[in-house]
Chain A
Amino acid sequence: MTSPQKNKRPSVLRELAKSKSGLVGVGLLILIAGLAIYSIMGLPSSLPLSWNNGDAWVLNPINVPPVWFAELQSNYAPTLNINLNSAWKLQAYSAGTYDIYVYSSSVNFTWNSNIYPQNVAFKASFEGQAASASITWMKPQGGSIVVSITQPNSNQIYEAQNSYFIAGAQAYVTNQTGKYFATLTKPQVISTLFGRNGPNILNSTVSEGKYSVLVQIVSNVPLKSLSGLLVVIGNAYGYMGTDYQGKPVDLGLLAGLPNALEVGFLVAIVSVVVGIIFGGLSGYLGARKDGVMQWVTLVVLALPALPFLVVMSYTVRLNLIIEVLLIAALTWPFYAIISRTVALSIKSQTFVEADKAMGIPSYRVFFSHFMPRLVPVTVAYTVLGIPGGILLAETLAFLGIAPANIITWGRILNDAFTNQAAVLGFWWWVVFPGLMIVLSAVPFVLIGFALERVIAPRVAAK
Chain B
Amino acid sequence: MILSVRDLRVYFSSPRGQVKALDGVDLDVDRREIVGLAGESGCGKSTLALAISRLIFPPGKITGGKVSFDGRDVLSLSEEEFRREYRWKKIAMVFQGSMNGFTPVFTIGYQINEVLQIHGFEGDLQARVSELLRMVDLDPEIAIRYPHELSGGQKQRAFIAMALALDPPFLIADEPTTALDVVTQVSIMNLLKRLRKENGIAILLITHDLALLSEVVDRMYILYAGRMAETGTAEEIFREPMHPYTKGLIASIPTLQSTKIAGIEGFMPDLANLPPGCKFYPRCPYVMDVCKINEPELRNVKGDQRVACWLY
Contact = CB atoms under 8 A, between A and B. Distances in A.
Partners in one complex: yes
Interface of A: 1-7
B42 A1 contact: yes
Contacts of A1: 42
A2 B42 contact: yes
Interface string B251-270: 00000000000000001111
Contacts of B269: 3
- Best-buried of A1, A2, A5 by chain B (most CB within 10 Å): A2
Nearest to A18: B15
Contacts of A6: 270, 273
A3 B16 contact: no
A6 B267 CA distance: 14
Contacts of B268: 2-3
B41 interface: yes
Contact of B16 (A2, A4, A7): A7
B40 interface: yes
Interface of B: 16, 40-42, 267-270, 273
A280 B270 CA distance: 36
Contacts of B16: 5, 7
- Best-buried of B267, B270, B273 by chain A (most CB within 10 Å): B270
Nearest to A7: B16
B92 to A, nearest CB: 29
Given A2-B41, A2-B267, A6-B270, 4 more contacts: A2-B42, A2-B268, A3-B267, A7-B16
B40 A2 contact: yes
Contacts of A4: 267, 270
B49 to A, nearest CB: 19
Contact of B42 (A3, A5, A7): A3
B232 to A, nearest CB: 25
A48 B268 CA distance: 69
A9 to B, nearest CB: 13
Nearest to A3: B270
A201 to B, nearest CB: 79
Nearest to B43: A2
Contacts of A7: 16
Contact of A5 (B40, B41, B267, B270): B270
A2 B267 CA distance: 7
A430 B16 CA distance: 51
A345 B98 CA distance: 25
Nearest to A15: B15
A1 B42 CA distance: 7
18 contacts: A1-B42, A2-B40, A2-B41, A2-B42, A2-B267, A2-B268, A3-B42, A3-B267, A3-B268, A3-B269, A3-B270, A4-B267, A4-B270, A5-B16, A5-B270, A6-B270, A6-B273, A7-B16
6 closest cross-chain pairs (CB), A and B: A2-B268, A3-B270, A2-B42, A3-B267, A2-B267, A2-B41
B61 to A, nearest CB: 21
Contacts of B40: 2
A1 B267 CA distance: 10
Nearest to B16: A7
A2 B283 CA distance: 14
Nearest to A1: B42
A142 B274 CA distance: 96
A118 to B, nearest CB: 62
Contacts of A2: 40-42, 267-268
Contacts of B273: 6
A4 B16 CA distance: 13
A139 to B, nearest CB: 77
Nearest to B270: A3
Contacts of B267: 2-4
Nearest to B271: A3
A334 B16 CA distance: 36
A4 B269 CA distance: 9
B231 to A, nearest CB: 22
A7 B15 CA distance: 11
A22 to B, nearest CB: 16
- Best-buried of A3, A4, A5 by chain B (most CB within 10 Å): A3
Nearest to B268: A2
A7 B269 CA distance: 15
A3 B43 CA distance: 11
A7 B16 CA distance: 9
A313 B46 CA distance: 63
A4 to B, nearest CB: 8
Contacts of B42: 1-3
A3 B267 CA distance: 6
A257 B16 CA distance: 43
B302 to A, nearest CB: 31
B18 to A, nearest CB: 15
Nearest to A10: B15
B66 to A, nearest CB: 29
Nearest to B15: A10
A321 B42 CA distance: 56
A4 B42 CA distance: 12
A268 B277 CA distance: 56
Nearest to B40: A2
A309 to B, nearest CB: 44
A100 to B, nearest CB: 88
A127 B36 CA distance: 105
A5 B273 CA distance: 10
